[in-house]
Amino acid sequence: MKDKRLRQLNMLVIIAICCCLIFIGLFAFVFAPDGQKKLKSNKLSDFNEGWLLRDYRGQPDQFVDLPEKIKGDAEEVIVIVNEVPADVGPDTVMIVRTNFQNIMVTINNEKIYTNGVMTDQKLMKNAVPCYNMIELKDAQPGDLITIYLVSSYKKYSGDLQAIYYGNKGDVVSDIISKNSIGFIFSILLIVVTLLLATSLIFMKNIRVHKVRAAYGFGFINAVALWSITSNPIMQLITSNTFGVYMANMTILLMLPILYIMHQRCFAIKRRYGRIFEIGIYIFGVNMLTGVVFQMLHICDFATYIIFTKVFIVLGLILLSGIMYLAADTYGDKTIYSNLVANAVLTVAALLESLLSIFRFYREYDGVVLQIGVGIFMVLLVVSVEKGIIKDMNHTRSLAEGNVESETNKALKKINTNLVYSTLGIVVNDLKTRDMENSRLIYDTSVYLKYNIMATVEKNMVPFSQEMEYIKAYLGMQKKRNAALDIEVEDKIVDFYVPFNTIEPLVENAVVNGALCADSSGRLVVRSYERLDCFAIQIVDNGKGIGPDKRFEGKQNFKSIKKKLKSMCGAAIEIKNKPGKGTIITVKVPKEGYVVKEN
C-alpha cells in the first residue's frame, strides 16, 4: 500500500512540474500584458556582404563576402572595411568569431574593441578562440567600420568567419541556443556522478572497489569540466575567455593521466600494470612540460596542445589494443564495456582529425568529437556502474555463502538425530497411556524438524510432505485452542511445491484470521485438481485481513509469492470479505500450462 501511495505521489509531483513548465512557457512566450514584450529571441542579422579587403599584399582593394579564407601568412595583418548597417541602434552588438586571431575594431578610425596580444595578456603569446561581442554604441548608419585580424599561425591567418549583429539579448540567446545541449549534458553528468560517488562513500558494509570507482567518477567529472570550459556559454558566465581557455587546456593535459589510472585498476597481471604505469609517467611529464613551457613563454598551449592531441590519439589506439588483449585473456565484461567506450572515443578522435583537413567541415569543427565524447561518457558511466553492481553482487554472494555456511555449522552442532529419536521414544511410550499428549509431542517434533529444515532446504518437495508439516502445526494449534474448528481436505497431493511456502500461509490464516474471528474460529485447507492446475485453498472466517495487508510469519508475503512464481510458475489469488473472512488460492500449473492472477 505504501508503495502504491508513493507511486501516486511521484506521479502527482511529475504532473505538477509539467503543469508549472507549461504555465511558464505560456506566460513567457505566448501571453503578455498590453505594452509588454513576450520573451523571444529575434534572429540575428547577417553582416557578411560587401566587405572591402584593403591593400591585401599590395593589390587593389577587392570586395569579399564572408565567410572567406584568404591565404595569409603568420603575423600578416588582414584588414576588412564595411559601412555600419542602417538599422543599428544604441543597444546593437556585433558578434565576430575568432580562432587564435588577434582582433581590433575601429569606427571612423576610432578604436572601440581589441582582443589578443594588443591587450598585453600575460603568459599568452596568442589570442584564444572566442566570440567577440562588439558594442556599437555611438555608431551611426554609414560610418566606416574596420576590422584588423592577425594570427601567429598560418593556419588561422586570413580566416574570415561569418559576422552577425543584433541587440545584446538576441546575441546572448543565439549563443545559448546553439551551445546549450552540450552544456546541460555536461552539468547533468557532473551532478549524476557526484550523487553516485557520494552514495558510494556511504557504502561502508559493501566491499566495492572504491579506488576504481573513484578514478572512474573523477575522470568523468574531469571530461565534463573540459566540455564545459570549451563551451562558449562559459564566456557569457565568466566574461573571461583567457582564464576559461587556460583551464580547458590544463584539464585536457590532465585527462589522459586520470583515464590511464582508471584503466590501471583493471590490470590483474603485473605486466599489464607496468604498461599503464609507463603511460601515466609519460603523460605526467607531458602535462608538466606543457605548463612550464606556457609559464616561461617557450611554447604556448595553442601550439603545445597540437602535439598532445596527436599523442592522445596514438595513446587511445594503443590502449584499445591492450584492453582487447586483457578482455580476451580474462573474459571480464567490465573490461569489454570499457573497450567499447574507448573504441568510440578513438574513432571519433580519428574522424575529427581527418575531417579537419577538409574545408567543408570547417564550420562544423569539433562536432564529431563532441558527439563521440558524449557517447563515450554515457558508455563509461554505464561501465563504472556495471563494475560497482558486479562488486556489490559478489559481496552479496559471499555474504549469503557465509550465512549458509554458518547456518550449516550451527545445525551440525545440534544433534538432531538424538532429539528426534528421544522424542520418538516418548511418543511410543505415551501411546498406550496418553494418546492425546503423545500426538501433541509427535506434532511438535514434526514441526521442529520442519523449521530446522527450512533454514537449508531450497528445493521443490511433494505437496504431501508440505501437508504433513501443515497438519502438525494445525494439531498444535488445536491443542492450544480447543474451540478452533479445523477441516483438512487433502485428496490431491501428488504434485510439487516449493518447500516452506504453503505452511506459512496457513500459519497466517490461523493467527490473523481464524483466531481473530468474532465467533468461533474456523479454518479449511483443501487441495483439488483443475484442468490446467493443482489448486490449494486456505479459507478462514476472520475479519478479512489477508496476507497482503498484514503477514505474521517466518517469511513475508512478497517473498513467498516470488518463490512460488519463480520456482514453479504458481500464482496466488486473495479474496477478502470484511467481517466474513479470507480465501487464499494457490494455483500450481500443470506441465504445458500457464496460470495468471485474477
Q: 30 and 94 in one domain?
A: no
Of the three residues 382, 399, 416, the one that is the final residue of a domain is: 399
Answer whether residue 542 is part of any domain. Answer: yes
What value does the mean pLDDT take over residues 292-297?
81
Q: What mean pLDDT do residues 2-24 have? A: 67
Count of domains in the chain?
4
Does 5 have pLDDT greater than 80? no
Q: What is the pLDDT of residues 200-212, one digit of tens each?
A: 666 655 555 667 7
In this structure, of 90-94, 310-314, 368-372, the range with the lowest mean pLDDT score is: 368-372
Domain end position, chosen among 129, 152, 170:
170
Torsion angle of C-alpha atoms 186, 189, 191, 197, degrees rounded to 10: -140
301 found inside a domain: yes
Q: What is the overall mean pLDDT for the chain? A: 78
- Residue 537 to residue 61: CA distance in whole angstroms: 100
Mean per-residue pLDDT, 76-83: 91
pLDDT at 290 over 60: yes
- Written in H, E and C, the secondary structure of 301-348 is HHHHHHHHHHHHHHHHHHHHHHHHHHHHHHCCHHHHHHHHHHHHHHHH
Cis link prior to 90 (omega < 30° from 0)? no
pLDDT-derived band of residue 306, with 50, 70 and 90 as boundaries?
confident
- Dig out the grid coordinates for 302 from the structure: 595553442
Q: How far apart are CA 386 and CA 88, in angstroms?
A: 57
Mean pLDDT of 21-35: 64
Residue 18 within any structural domain of the chain: yes
Whole-angstrom distance, CA of residue 498 vs CA of residue 559: 12
Higher pLDDT, 325 or 426: 325
Residue 271 lies in a domain: yes
Least confident of 61-75, 150-164, 188-202, 430-444: 430-444
Q: Which of 161, 136, 140 is nearest to 149 (CA)?
A: 161
377, 399, 421: which is the final residue of a domain? 399
252 in any annotated domain: yes
Q: In terms of domains, do 85 and 150 share one?
A: yes
d(CA 235, CA 132): 10
Look at residue 125 and tell me whether its pLDDT is greater than 80.
Answer: no
Q: Are residues 120 and 248 in the same domain?
A: no
Domain, as residue range, for 301: 203-399
Is residue 104 domain-shared with residue 210, that is, in the same domain? no
Separation between Cα atoms, residue 308 and residue 290, nearest integer Å: 9
111 against 445, higher pLDDT: 111
The answer for residues whose C-beta is within 8 angstroms of residue 324's C-beta and 6 or more apart is: 339
Site of grid cell 533454514:
455
Residue 180 lies in a domain: no
Q: Residue 413: pLDDT band by 50, 70, 90 thresholds?
A: low
* CB-facing half-sphere around the CA of 568: CA atoms within 13 A: 26
H or E stretch including 564?
helix 557-568
Burial group, residue 371, by CB count within 10 angstroms (0-12, 13-18, 19+): middle
Q: What is the pLDDT of residues 456-484, one digit of tens each?
A: 667 888 898 888 888 888 888 888 888 88
CA neighbours within 13 Å on the CB side: how many for 531?
Answer: 0
**What's the rounded Cα separation, in Å, for the pair 247 and 441?**
81
Query: Do 218 and 141 sit in the same domain of this protein?
Result: no
Does residue 24 sit in the same domain as residue 55? no
Q: Let me know: does 107 contact 139? Beta carbons within 8 Å.
A: yes
| Same domain membership, residue 165 and residue 57 | yes
Q: How many CB atoms lie within 10 A of CB 408?
A: 12
* 161/395: higher pLDDT: 161
Looking at the fold, whether 35 and 158 belong to one and the same domain comes out as no
**298 in the same domain as 159:** no
370 falls in which pLDDT band (50, 70, 90)? confident
Residue 198, pLDDT score: 72
Q: Dump pLDDT digits (tens) for 226-277.
A: 888 888 888 888 878 888 888 888 888 998 888 888 888 776 667 777 888 8
Query: Residue 529 has which C-alpha cell?
Result: 485438481
Task: Name which of 336-350, 407-421, 539-553 the model is least confident about.
Answer: 407-421
DSSP 377-388: HHHHHHHHHHHH
Better pLDDT: 41 or 288: 288
**Which DSSP letter does residue 26 get?**
I
Q: The domain that contains 105 carries what CATH number?
A: 2.60.120.260
Tell whether 119 and 100 lie within a shared domain: yes
The verdict on 384 and 524 lying in the same domain is: no
> What kind and span of H or E run contains 589?
strand 581-589
The per-residue pLDDT for 1 is 44
pLDDT the model gives residue 492: 86
| Contact (CB, 8 A) for 259 and 315 | no
The answer as to whether 580 is a domain residue is yes
Residue 502: CATH number of its domain = 3.30.565.10
Task: Tell me whether residue 446 is in a domain.
Answer: no
pLDDT category at 118 given cuts 50, 70, 90 is very low
Percent of the chain with pLDDT over 70: 74
| pLDDT at residue 340 tops 90 | no
The residue behind cell 477441516 is: 487
504 CB-side CA count, 13 A: 21
> Which pTM was predicted?
0.60
Residues 79 and 6 in one domain: no
Average pLDDT over residues 405-423: 57
Confidence of residue 541 (pLDDT cuts 50, 70, 90): confident
147 pLDDT more than 90: yes
pLDDT at residue 81 is higher than 90: yes
